[in-house]
Amino acid sequence: MPETNAVPAALATKTVRGGGRTYFFDLRESKKGDKYVQVTETRKGQDGQNVRNTLFLFPDHAQEFQSALSEIIEQV
């Protein structure tokens, strides 16, 4: 069977909209069975084209990431 580069379907997803941006938080599973979080931001660029930025968060850094994000959010 040929390999595909298709993104695996999300096991769970949350969407947040605000300020002309949409954030997608998707729980996914790799081909090896490892779960990870994919965070995608979409927005309109200055030229009117859609702009997409994606961050992949793996379990070995999740706790540290959550802690740093919480500390920064407390200062907003």
Q: Where are the domains of the chain?
A: 12-74
pLDDT tens digits for range 39-72: 999 999 889 899 999 999 999 999 999 999 999 9
Closest CA to 34 of 1, 66, 64, 62: 62
- Looking at residue 7, its pLDDT comes to 72
Q: The pTM is what?
A: 0.80
Identify which of 42, 37, 39 has the alpha carbon closest to the alpha carbon of residue 59.
37
Cα–Cα distance for residue pair 31/50, rounded to 1 Å: 29
- pLDDT-derived band at 6 (thresholds 50, 70, 90) equals confident
Which CATH architecture does the domain made up of 12-74 adopt? Answer: Roll (3.10)
Report the percent of the chain where pLDDT is more than 90. Answer: 82
